Structure 1
Amino acid sequence: MDYTRVDAATGASAMWLFGIFLYIHCWISSGFAFNIGHASGMGPMYSTPNPEFIDTPLQTTYHTGDLAVLHCSIHNLGTKTVIWRRANEQAPITIGTMTYIADDRFQVNHVPYKDQWNLLIKNVQLEDEGIYECQVSSTDRAIRRLITLKVEEWKSRSPLVQMSGPEFVEKGGKVLLTCNATGINYPPEEMDWFRNGQKLLSDVESGIDIYKSVSISSKSITSTLEIERATMEDDGTYICRSSDLHIASKKLNVLNAGTSNVKRGTGSDKSSQLMSGSSSSNPALKWQIFLFSMMTAAVIFV
């Protein structure tokens, strides 16, 4: 037996079968029907639905330094792949979740349960502005969506921290101090409170409650310090400090309303008291005042 011919025939058969498999795979991936019983009139037994884009913003604006997000959501992607590129360039930025350019600011955020394939651009710059293309891998380039990115330059600014609240509060009264900190590119992550250099934390027994809220759009964090019933120990200097180490301070004075305060008068007040009815209760003082008046009158007439 000629084993050389047998091996050649076997190899040819294997290559033929591989070619058939590859053809069928490409046929299915292109969205055509995989039809086993078509010749017998049984109709298609398997078909792949065409990918469909979900409505997302087609134009978005960011400032330099922001994290830009270009949205692209696709139903029925199947075995196909999502490709991001600039509309005027052939070279891809990303294919699937892999980045194909040297700029590591670009990456894809894939959220499977939402069919999202969003392109993220960290620290976006003016030169990143333009039209981007989210395309489904196919010979038909019509399966794509164009997204316009506009980038505006931030005016020069610095982080801002401000504290608001009362300067005076009576003992037993409620204290509300609010601190707002704004970042440049992102909101600060945390806010700490201090009283006379000592860090404060929420404490039910002490009646101290600290709560916060974060705004991504305004790049700010707001923290509120609430003291249910102020005591004399709450008197002092309060400082709020953001996680990027910017601070604001305020002096809080706690007043003890139960303490009697004697008003100190002026010299004229004392003279008026001497000349008023307070002297009538002291006969000796009244006689001294009378003699002083008579002596003054005698000097005037002389």
Structure 2
Amino acid sequence: MECKQQTATAVAAVRQSALAGLLFSIVMVLLIVDGTLASTEAEIISTQDEIITYINHTAKLSCIIQNKNRHHITWSRITFINETQKITNLLFVDLLKYTPSSQYHLTHMIERDNREYWNLEIRNVHLSDQGYYSCVLTAIKPISKIFHVKVLENTRNPLLALRSTSDAYTNNLQRRSKEEIFSSLSLFSSSILTIFLMNIILIII
């Protein structure tokens, strides 16, 4: 009797995995077809690979997209079975949530240089949340970025935990500040040059 129950449980798990994989494949095909009209080449420019966080903290995974256009973004959790097999659990397609878990949240921010931030938040982190997560930019040749979340048990240094989970956000703010400073300096230099040329013209006249 016990063997039959174990067999039934294993069969149910295999079916669930197969259905999840089929759903992911169908969604990816539809999104790729919809995104083929994008004219400018899109890319993922995130540099973050590993996120270190602590139990009950929030892990923030930042997927930065340049020239997204009409392409779509998917977030998934990846479970590697072996070198050739993996299970993909779809979490989000753009802002549409595909998981019932209340832990996962997605924030979206657009900058003026056609750069977009699709940030996955895993709130109230548990040890079971440790693993791999994937951000995929759908296209004829999909582009993916794999993030590894490492969960630590002890919060001996809460400041380290806070810093490690918010590095991407801080770096993004610093990058934006630098770009705004350079833009302001360029505008200021242009204004000075314009005034200088006008004065020369007035002197000549």
Q: TM tier, shorter chain?
A: 0.5 to 0.7
Asked if 2 retains the 8 angstrom alpha-carbon contact of 1:98 and 1:107, the reply is: no
Which letter maps to 1:150? K
Does the C-alpha gap of structure 1 residues 147 and 217 become closer, same or farther in structure 2, counting only changes over 3 Å?
Answer: closer
Residue 49 of structure 1 aligns to a residue whose secondary structure is coil
Highest RCO, 1 vs 2 (Cα 8 Å, sep ≥ 6): 2
Residue correspondences, number: 122
TM-score normalised by L of structure 1: 0.36
Contact 1:60–1:150 under 8 Å retained in 2 = yes
Aligned equivalent of 2:193: none
Q: Contact (CA 8 Å) 1:63, 1:151: kept in 2 or not?
A: yes
SS at match of 2:88: coil
The AA in structure 1 aligned to 2:57 is D
The root-mean-square deviation of aligned C-alpha atoms, in Å, is 2.8
Long gaps (5+) in structure 1:
1-25, 32-46, 158-183, 187-215, 219-302
Q: 5 Å matches for 1:248-267?
A: none
TM-score calculated relative to the size of structure 2: 0.52
Q: Which residue of 1 aligns with 2:110?
A: 112
Q: Distance in 2 between matches of 1:139 and 1:124?
A: 34
What residue is the counterpart of 1:274 in the other structure? none
Aligned residue identity for 2:66: H
Higher helix share: 2
Residue 46 of structure 2 is aligned to residue 84 of structure 1: no
**Which runs of no fewer than 5 residues in structure 2 stay unpaired?**
1-31, 80-86, 165-205
The answer (yes or no) to whether the contact 1:94–1:107 under 8 Å persists in 2 is: no
- Match of residue 35 from structure 2: 29
Post-superposition, which runs of at least 4 consecutive aligned residues in structure 1 deviate over 3 A?
A: none
Q: 1:73 pairs with 64, 71, 74, which one?
A: 64
Letter in 1 for 2:36: S
Matches within 5 A, 1:58-207: 58-88=49-79, 89-113=87-111, 114-141=115-142, 143-154=143-154
Aligned to 1:210: none
Partners of 2:73 and 2:163 in 1: CA distance: 29
Contact map agreement 1:66 1:185 (CA 8 A) in 2: no
* Identical columns (%): 24
Q: 1:94 to 1:185 in 2, by over 3 A?
A: farther
Distance change in 2, residues 1:91/1:153 (3 Å): same
State which structure, 1 or 2, has the greater radius of gyration over its C-alpha atoms.
Answer: 1
Please tell me whether residue 51 in structure 1 is matched to residue 19 in structure 2.
no
C-alpha distance in 2, partners of 1:27/1:84? 18
Q: Secondary structure of the equivalent of 2:141?
A: coil
In 2, are the aligned partners of 1:81 and 1:96 still within 8 Å (CA)?
Answer: yes
